[in-house]
Structure formats: structure tokens, C-alpha cells
Chain A
Amino acid sequence: MLDLLGYAAFFGTTALTYAIMCLGLNVQWGQTGLFNVGIAGFAAIGAYTSAILTTPPTQAHLGGFALPIVAGLIGAAAAAGLASLLVGALTLRLRSDYLAITTFGVAVVVQLTCLNVQGVTGGPFGIGFIPRPFGGFADRPGAFAALQFLGMVVLTVALFLALERLAQSPWGRVLRAIREDETAAAALGKNATAYRLQAFALGGAVIGLGGALQAHAIGFIAPDNYLPALTFQIWTMLIIGGSGNNAGAIIGAVLIWGLWSGSGAALTAIFPPELQARAASLQVVAIGIILCAILVLRPRGLFGERTAVSRHVDGLETNPSTALAEQDSAPRAL
């Protein structure tokens, strides 16, 4: 029983690290329409930064600097945010297709760098002994897993609230306006490039933070963790949860991670050991089918985006039926 709870807590912790990356993508894509296909790269930057900052000194890779985990997480968010700012500034206008090509390329470069610059990243051996939060409880596995999970819940909720406040702020409103019609937004005095850069950097920082949290949850990272499959997973989570909706991003992440782990366990149970390596690809197929089904049945995802943006706009009397009835007639004269 305790084992099961322990596993559930570990599952939850991992799922929430994906949820945080998903929140980051939601700022970029859901709110601003920035097509980032290099999520894995920014997650890797976060994970490696935090790992290098927090691991004990070693010959195997750069550092470690044995800093507290909090310092690692801040460093991770800063590094990934700066990397996003740089990539964004280079593809200055951040037009969808160019940004997609660039970010994909960046992610490949980052992954290959992790794999090959052994002196810094440990190369193919990755980085181990990444400190895990609440390490003092390591001798009591149940409490350890539970505390980690609770810590993640608190962090996810805090991040959700902070991002939700932004999404419903004048800032979020400008992002949506730019997403819908850049020329019209510029005509109203909004500097579209600056806003895109802000959203891309903020989203990148959050993705990097998610990557770092995942590294700390598992305790070990290797270049293989940051293949394009990770990008695909995060995208699926956001599309299924509901692009443009922060709660949807979190729920989509938990749901897809559940399906992913569940189908993995099922495949292990169903297929004989010699077929399991090949059967694993069925997981990708299953996720792909679910993605297609959602796109057909609920194209806006499980939770769509709301119409009103600002949380400050309330108390306006809303009566859609009468308002709609009048829309074709001429408005009243003054």
C-alpha cells in the first residue's frame, strides 16, 4: 500500500514537472501564438544548469558547485530565459515558420552539445547525484515521496496563480491582440516585437524551470532525455488540455503523463520481454491517436480559452440574448 502511494506521489511529481513545462509553452503558444518546436532544448538548458550548479564537485562535468536547490532553480530559469531571449532576438520578428525552424534547430544543437561537450555536461554519461529536495527524509521513502509531491504541488499552484494573473492582465490582453492581428495592435501603440520577446523569454524560463525540477525529481539526467519526443509530449499535453488555458495546460499534462505511464505499464504486462522494445512505440501511436481524436472532437482542447481577458473587467451586465438580438439593427442614436 505504501509502495503504491509512494509510486503515486512520484508519478504526481513527474507529471507536475511536465505541467510546468506545459505552462511555459502556454505563455508562448497559447497566449502569444509563438510556435516553439524546441521545448526539449530549453528544458535541457534548465536541467543542465541546475544540475551543474547543485551537484557536489566532480571531475565528470563542469562544477558541481554544490549550491542549494533554490539557487539551481533560479539559475535554470534565468539561463533558459536568456537563451530564449537570444533565440528570439536573432529571429527578431519571430514569425511562426521561421521561429519553428530556428527553435527546432536550437534544440538539436543543445542536445548534441549535451552529448558531446563531455567536460561540461558529462557527455553520454549524463549527470548523476543531482540533489533531490527534502533529501533529509531519504531514509523514509514514503514521507520523502510525499514531501516531494507536496513541494511540487505548492510550486505548481504558485506558478499557476502568477501566470494566470498575467494572462488576465492588460499584458495578457496585449499578447492576445498581437496574436490575432499584429498590424491592428501596432496601430494602437503596441510594440509587437517587444511583447513577443517578453512572452518567449518568460515561457522559456518556465520551461527551463520545469526541466530543472524534473532533473531534481529524478536525480539523474542524460542527453537522451531531451530528444524531440519531449517536445512532442509537451505539445500534446497543451493541445489536449486546451491551448490558451493555464488550468487546461496542467490537467492536460497530468492526463497525458498518466496515459503515457499507464500504457507503458500495460505494454510491459501484455508483451513478452523480447517484444517490449518494439512494443514501446505503440505508446507513441496511442498518444498520436488520442491527439487526433481530440483535434477532431474538441479542437479547442478539453478546456478552451475564455473570451474576456482582464480579471479587472467584472460587474459589467451581461445579457447575451438581448445583446445578440440587437446586433443586426442599428445602434441607438444618442
Chain B
Amino acid sequence: MPPSPDDTTSVYKPQRVSDSVLEVREVTKRFGGNVAVDALSLSVSRGVVAGLIGPNGAGKSTLFDLLAGVQTPTKGRIMLDALSIERTPAYRRARLGLGRTFQVARPFPALSVVENVMLGRHDQSGEAILPNWFTPRKVHRQERETLGKAMDLLRFVSLDRLATQPARVLSGGQRKLLEIARVMMGDPRVLLLDEPAAGVNPSLLDIIMDRIATINARGVTVFLIEHNMDLVTRLCSHVFVMAQGRLLCEGAPDTIARDPRVIEAYLGSAAA
């Protein structure tokens, strides 16, 4: 049931996508009297790079928190493939293949860059106490393997030369790259990127965009919040626009940019 482009009814009907990897169904999040996300539904198709844009206060970050499990919705369901995950704790969602990065990058500052990345792996036997004492060889073997993969990922984001440095020495943009390497260590199916371009200098921005495209080309679905429209236009095949906790519209980036409702939401009714 695709919406006609000149659909002018006030309540927006989301598009139904047959093969959705991540689906939000009628999700509401209230903070006291404030409704941050209001009965919102959307569906991210498998294998795409989808963008989420909207003016400040639209509820984008809250929606991401709900998806990642930092918050639980007041109402509604969130589906990862066929699994309903809205009550699943954040750590388990990560293990289910839902990776995320943060708006302000959160490396572990005292840990070395490479160990930041190594932490991203899920099935490490050495992360339990007893194997370290009773099957140390297995732990060691696995740890060397993890190290190898972590170094590959650091080369992928061009941070391999800083591998042994504590993560606190990294610049803002490098931290964003580190987070991408770290989350990729867990082989996610879906990657939530919260403003990957925020606070990144222009020379790093190209690298970040290129790496996101490469990750997507390897089969990972990417869903990102971004204010940088250049990035959204170049990377995303599908864009969702949020305003006041609701989905305003969705579609290809160039149609979205021309949509009067979007212009109105960003600039106020006078501009429309």
C-alpha cells in the first residue's frame, strides 16, 4: 500500500516493506506529560542505508535510544527480523546483531585503541572467569584471532597506527571511526549510527562516508541519524523525516528535500 505522493491527509501512513529487517510498530515514548515519540511506525528494509532526519527536538535520538534498548517504549513494538525486542536489554540486542554508535563518541578512554575494538566481539570464552584458569590455551588462541580481526578493522578505518595508544588521545573524528570499527567487531546485521558526521572535520568526513558505504556493501543494513544533508543525500537510499515525535514523510532523498511538509517542519510555515 504505497502512499501517493500528493497524499494530504494529516496522519501519515507508513510504507509497508515486504523484507524489513527493523520495524517500529506504533511506538510511543512519554516522559511525564511530554510525548517524545508519538505512535510512530516505520520499517527499514534489509540491505539499505536509511536516514532519519528532522528538526531538533523531533524525537530522533529518543527513537534511537528505543531501538538500541537504552530506553523502553511506553507502548508499541520493535521488531528485529521476526523477533520482538522492545523489552530486550541493550546488551542482548547488541548480541542479536543490532549494533550502534553514539552521537558523541564513547570510546573507553583508558583502554588502548585496539582493545577498544577487541571488546566488540561477542563470543569470547575469556570473558568468563573460569576459562582463563582452566583452558588458558583456548583463550589465548581466540584472543590472537580477535586481535587479528581488530587490527584488520583498524586498518579499515585507518587507525591501525594508533592501535597501542590509549583511546583518549584520539580526535573527535577518530573516535567516531573507532566506534565504527568497534561495533563492526560484533558482526552486526543492522547498524544504528547516531550522527556519524557530527563534529568531524571535512577530511575525515569523506573517509567516514566511504567506510559506511563499504560496510553497507558487505550486507549490513545501516540506519543513521544525520543533519548533514550532503551525507544523507549521498549515502541514503531511503529517508524518514520526523517532526514532533511523528513520522512526517519518507522516501528517496531528493523527493524528501523538495517536500513542502519537510521544508515547513524545518523552517516554519512562513517558508512553505
The residues of A with any CB-CB pair to B shorter than 8 Å are 162, 165-166, 169-171, 173-174, 176-177, 180-181, 183-192, 198, 202, 305, 307-310, 312-313, 316-318, 320, 322-324, 326-328, 330-334
Contact = CB atoms under 8 A, between A and B. Distances in A.
Contacts of B140: 312
A186 to B, nearest CB: 4
A305 B118 contact: no
Q: Report, nearest first, the 3 A-B pairs whose CB atoms are least far apart.
A: A331-B158, A170-B126, A312-B143
Contacts of B147: 312-313, 316
B164 A173 contact: no
Contact of B109 (A180, A183, A327, A328): A180
Given A191-B92, A331-B157, 19 more contacts: A170-B124, A174-B127, A176-B111, A177-B108, A180-B109, A180-B110, A185-B91, A186-B89, A186-B91, A187-B99, A187-B183, A189-B122, A307-B110, A308-B112, A310-B115, A310-B143, A313-B143, A323-B161, A332-B158
Contacts of B120: 188-189
Contact of B165 (A165, A323, A330): A323
- In this complex, the member of B112, B169, B170 whose beta carbon has the largest number of chain A beta carbons within 10 angstroms is B112
B219 interface: no
Contacts of B100: 187
27 contacts: A165-B133, A169-B132, A169-B139, A170-B132, A170-B143, A173-B111, A177-B108, A183-B106, A185-B108, A185-B119, A186-B69, A186-B91, A186-B94, A189-B91, A191-B91, A202-B129, A308-B112, A312-B140, A312-B143, A312-B147, A313-B112, A320-B164, A323-B161, A327-B162, A330-B201, A331-B161, A331-B204
A2 B166 CA distance: 51
A203 to B, nearest CB: 12
A165 B136 contact: yes
Nearest to A170: B126
A110 B164 CA distance: 46
Contacts of A191: 89, 91-92
B189 to A, nearest CB: 13
Given A165-B136, A169-B139, A198 B129 contact: yes
Nearest to B156: A334
Nearest to A312: B143
Interface in B119-151: 119-120, 122, 124, 126-129, 132-133, 136, 139-140, 143-144, 146-147, 151
Given A181-B108, A184-B106, A307 B166 contact: yes
B177 A189 contact: no
Contacts of B69: 186
Nearest to B173: A330
B207 A331 contact: yes
A176 B110 contact: yes
Contacts of B207: 330-331, 333
A312 B70 CA distance: 32
Nearest to A202: B129
Nearest to A318: B164
Contacts of A322: 161
B90 interface: yes
B203 interface: yes
A304 B185 CA distance: 29
B102 interface: yes
B204 A330 contact: yes
B159 interface: yes
Nearest to A305: B110
B158 A187 contact: no
B129 A180 contact: no
Contacts of A189: 91-92, 94-95, 120, 122, 186
A180 B116 CA distance: 11
